[in-house]
Structure 1
Amino acid sequence: MTETNHRSCKTNLRSRTIAKLVLGQLYPPAVVEAQYEDRLYPLTARLEFYLENFGYFHMQASKPDNVGHGLDDSPVAHASWLIQNLIMATDVAGERLIDGNLSANYNMDDFYDSFTVHWACRSMTTAARSYAVALAVHQDPLSMSIFMTPTPVPFAAIKFRHELVYQPDDFLRDKYPNLVQSNTLDFGGHFAGYQEPAVLADSIRTSVAKMEQFHRN
């Protein structure tokens, strides 16, 4: 997930943020509101979730060409790989349902269109390699220094219920002190552009107005 001025948020690795995260394991009210506590704690449950569901991430980040060329060769394998990750990042509880609960969350014509373009253009290798490129920042001291430095640009966040990583506003301000807007919702998942396009678009529009006001001030 790439940092932008408006997005559901990338994991914050700053030492002060990690310290807060660990403190919250001992006393959650110190770092997160009660209604959002289950999105962050217990940490053992979050770790179990990542270990069970992020095998695709490790494969794409470490062996992008192996994964990509194989999946580009078969539309069935390609669809299977994408659908599993779509289910997991929408609401992992959908795995218990025969259709992954996808038809209740998406306009499936949109998915079919997207998948067809993705497969016909043999895009899986490129998509997988983007994970390896994104993680390469951790191997370059300069890039990592920039990544860890607080950024004063105005920033907005939208946090859907089933986003893969939840960060309280206090965590976000460690990186983006000028947080002009933050919306926490009780619905939606990682693929908000598909699932809740109107909600996401409205959040972007309102955040742009607040960023413009920030610069005027």
Structure 2
Amino acid sequence: MLTLAVAGAGAWAWGAFKVKRSPQPAPVAANPVAVPDLASARQILTGYFEATEDEGRIRCLHDSRRVGALWLDYHHRRNKPVPLLVRLDQGRLARLGDKTVAMFQTELDPGGSRPIALIWDDGRFGIDWESSVVYGSMDWIEWVETKPASTQLLRVYLSRSRVDGLSVAEREAGWSEVVAEHPDGLQPLPVRIPPGVLFPVDFHGRQRVPAAAELRFSRSNAELVKFLHEGWSR
């Protein structure tokens, strides 16, 4: 499997990727196969923003068969138009787990400065759309304001709770608490972790961790249902 009050749109999203620079390329073989390069990634990215039809844009996405339905939900049902691409930097290649990614800093209108990653898979680059828009099954602001009891998948930043909102009895029973933030704003939100829910995050040396998680509200308190993975990429 390949992240939402934050200082600077360009700064927050780079934290959604755990990357390291790619090694030097090996010598070209006698019969070379397709290899990832920035030119092909740039072509996919610009093609996405220049496309005029939904199908053309969805074809530019990584894991498009799965993500296509999410894309339609986000841009049509939630009425979030695709922004204009104003500027695109030179980009760089990096590693995301066992995948090669091309990372670009973009200037969008609306949206401002926004990093976007493309994942190399099955001989082609595809836009890591879910992380680029910090996709969740509900918009963060709507989720916080409506406090649904139903479980929602959300991409957030998680950090240690600096204020103990739990009672002594709750802590003795095995409850814990973290804080969730989202680039869409609002105040950091305390999230309670029930006993028995696995939370394998080590905050040592890290102020906050981008993560995908299933969350819900219980008696007006945000609660972790399931921790899915670190980072906003699947």
TM-score of the superposed pair, with normalisation by structure 1:
0.25
Task: Look at both structures and tell me which one has the larger radius of gyration over its CA atoms.
Answer: 2
TM-score scaled to structure 2, two decimals?
Answer: 0.24
Higher RCO by CA contacts (8 Å cutoff, separation 6 or greater): 1
The structure carrying a bigger strand percent of its residues is: 2
Question: Which structure's residues are more often helix, by fraction?
Answer: 1
